[in-house]
């Protein structure tokens, strides 16, 4: 099979399209033919081994390869079709269209991937293409996880910092579906996009800081690790909740103190990316409450360009790589 591989850490140019051995499903596994995979910021970080948050650099390097990557095929979020499965597997049929998350297994940049039958694999929403469905699991699962932690009530004010990325764009829509009044924070070029998917208010961080505007929020969902923690906490109303998806180590330490000794709550628990959560997203999509936005699609031989597009932060929605000859993506 063909796969986008890398054998050394570095720039997007380390990505190569090669022929590799096709995986085989074990008794408790499902073999899936991949149609589309999202090119994510985490893929780019793993490829370059450069992370916005530094504290987990060493444990990740030990886990994934000190001198070179152990797992040479990236891709954690994708859509495709069930090809076959092991003799102990039930609940699947050949040809079933699905969307899924691989967890730390990766591998979705190849024409085929094998996952445990108990993994995060769910029937693809009927009102989405494969490319649109591939753009859901990363942003949708993480956004749903954090916004459920916030226990948002109708009418509450929610600010989403970094709203133009995969997680943020889903968070805008999910918060709106929960009845929130949503303020989106991102760069100038993303204002129209964010208002189009439901943001009530927009703050351009290149011109204004939301922490200096004198407005307080019930919930702040922060994907941007550079923002002042103290200023963000001051921007919360009494009993406000601060959610951080990309916490610095210092923030993790201060979170316990804030939650114990003030009327504010700070949460940073990482998403489980469960099948139940993905099934909830599927229902929300089919009910018309949320949708994914695909910025651009690229063929496999242009994977480096896809990564460059992600890294420019100029994208309006998800960047998707069409895998194999999946013309219906």
pLDDT in tens, 215-264: 999 999 998 877 899 999 999 999 999 999 877 778 888 888 999 999 99
pLDDT at 329 (0 to 100): 55
Q: What was the pLDDT predicted at 275?
A: 96
Q: Are 41 and 52 a contacting pair, CB within 8 Å?
A: no
Closest Cα to residue 254, out of 285, 224, 220, 231?
Answer: 231
Closest CA to 138 of 109, 167, 99, 181: 167
Whether the CB-CB separation of 102 and 11 falls below 8 Å is answered with no
Which of 39, 3, 14, 111 has the alpha carbon at shortest distance from 306? 39
Question: Which residues lie closer than 8 Å to 5 by C-beta, 6 or more apart?
Answer: 15, 16, 17, 18, 20, 72, 73, 109
What CA–CA distance (Å, rounded) separates 277 from 289? 15
Report the candidate in 106, 115, 150, 81 with the shortest Cα–Cα distance to residue 4.
Answer: 106
Task: Please give the distance of CA 126 from its chain centroid, rounded to a whole number.
Answer: 21
Q: What is the pLDDT of residue 224?
A: 85
Asked whether the beta carbons of 113 and 20 are under 8 A apart, the reply is no
Query: Closest Cα to residue 158, out of 78, 223, 218?
Result: 218
Sole residue written with tokens 């100038």: 188
pLDDT at 314: 87
Statement: the pTM of the whole predicted model exceeds 0.75:
yes
Q: What angle do CA 37, 107, 15 make, to 5 degrees?
A: 80
Adjacent-strand bridge partners of 294: 318
Stretches in the chain below the pLDDT threshold 70: 52-63, 326-329
Tokens of 111: 């024409």
Nearest to 172 by CA among 188, 156, 157, 183: 183
Can you give the pLDDT at residue 104?
85
Domains and CATH numbers, the chain: 2-136+292-322 (3.90.180.10), 138-267 (3.40.50.720)
């Amino acid at each position: 099979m063909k796969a986008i591989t890398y054998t050394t850490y570095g720039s997007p140019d380390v990505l190569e399209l090669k022929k590799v051995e096709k995986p085989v499903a074990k008794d408790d596994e499902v073999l899936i033919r991949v149609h589309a995979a999202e090119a994510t910021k985490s893929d780019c970080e793993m490829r370059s081994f450069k992370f916005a948050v530094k504290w987990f650099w060493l444990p990740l390097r030990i886990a994934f390869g000190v001198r070179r990557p152990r797992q040479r095929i990236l891709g954690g979020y994708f859509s495709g079709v069930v090809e076959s499965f092991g003799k102990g597997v039930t609940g699947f049929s050949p040809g079933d269209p699905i969307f899924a998350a691989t967890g730390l297994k990766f591998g979705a940049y190849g024409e085929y991937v094998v996952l445990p039958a108990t993994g995060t694999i769910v029937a693809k929403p009927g009102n989405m293409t494969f490319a649109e469905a591939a753009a859901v699991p990363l942003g949708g699962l993480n956004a749903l996880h954090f916004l459920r932690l916030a226990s948002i009530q109708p009418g509450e004010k929610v600010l989403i910092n970094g709203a133009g990325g995969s997680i943020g764009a889903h968070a805008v829509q999910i918060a709106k579906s929960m009845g929130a009044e949503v303020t989106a924070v991102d760069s100038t070029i993303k204002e129209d996009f964010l208002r189009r998917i439901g943001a009530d208010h927009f703050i351009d961080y290149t011109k204004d800081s939301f922490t200096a505007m004198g407005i307080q929020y019930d919930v702040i969902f922060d994907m941007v690790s550079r923002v002042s923690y103290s200023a963000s906490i001051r921007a919360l109303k009494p009993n406000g909740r601060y959610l951080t998806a990309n916490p610095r180590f210092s923030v993790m330490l201060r979170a316990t103190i804030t939650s114990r000794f003030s009327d504010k709550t700070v949460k940073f628990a990482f998403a489980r990316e469960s099948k139940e959560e993905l099934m909830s997203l599927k229902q929300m999509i089919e009910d018309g409450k949320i949708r994914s936005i695909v910025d651009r699609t690229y063929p496999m031989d242009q994977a480096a360009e896809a990564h460059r597009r992600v890294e420019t932060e100029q994208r309006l929605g998800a960047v998707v790589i069409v895998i194999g000859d999946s013309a219906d993506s």
